[in-house]
Structure 1
């Protein structure tokens, strides 16, 4: 069994984080704005009609029973920053960084608990 040095592990994690942030920031601009498979399947049987209050679904489809998510007005809703669609990459970087922070914190807590359990 081979173990890596802490320096090479840190370099790997730093490189991984940089690549992930680059992908989140750059590739997110290439994402399609068309509905994905789930959205398309739930709106089958309905048509979207413009009204004074926005878009409304008419017909018979599953999506008519949908309601807005409680966080739909949050700053990063719909992969944007404050509703600005040209900041999709920034939203991706923020999301990736938040994921790294939460995952890193959980891994640190688990490792600490394991060390405390095994120490005399």
Structure 2
């Protein structure tokens, strides 16, 4: 199977995971649970910037749809960046091999 086919399969898989993400447990994850149990949850600082805060796309009232959209956008951005980096590395390698 070619590399492009693997990229596509991985992308579709991740988009499907983002689609079912509203079904995930609303309970805190392990680290957040420990912070709550030990009483230092309030010591956490805010992120310096947030593209899609709390994994919910702003302006959409339906929380499930907003979560799915945030997941899709994040997945597409991440795959786009990774694809560009892989393309740059591959093209540099081909240029170096041609010399």
If the length of structure 1 is used for normalisation, what is the TM-score? 0.68
- Structure with the bigger percentage of helix: 2
In the alignment, does 2:24 pair up with 1:31?
yes
| 1:11-30 alignment, distance < 5 Å | 11-24=5-18, 26-30=19-23
Deviation digits for residues 59-99 of structure 1, max 9, x if unmatched? xx22232222122xx45111100175331111111111011
Structure with higher strand content: 1
Give the drift of 1:107. Answer: 0.2
- Find the aligned partners of 1:112 and 1:76 in 2 and give their Cα distance: 32
Give the structure, 1 or 2, with the largest relative contact order (CA under 8 Å, sep 6 or more).
2
**Structure 1: runs of 5 or more not aligned:** 46-60
Q: How many matched pairs?
A: 96
So what's the TM-score if we normalise by structure 2? 0.80
Say if 2:94 is the partner of 1:115.
yes
The runs of 5 or more residues in structure 2 that have no matched partner are none
Q: 1:90 to 1:116 in 2, by over 3 A?
A: same
CA RMSD, 1 decimal: 2.0
Q: 1:16 to 1:63 in 2, by over 3 A?
A: closer
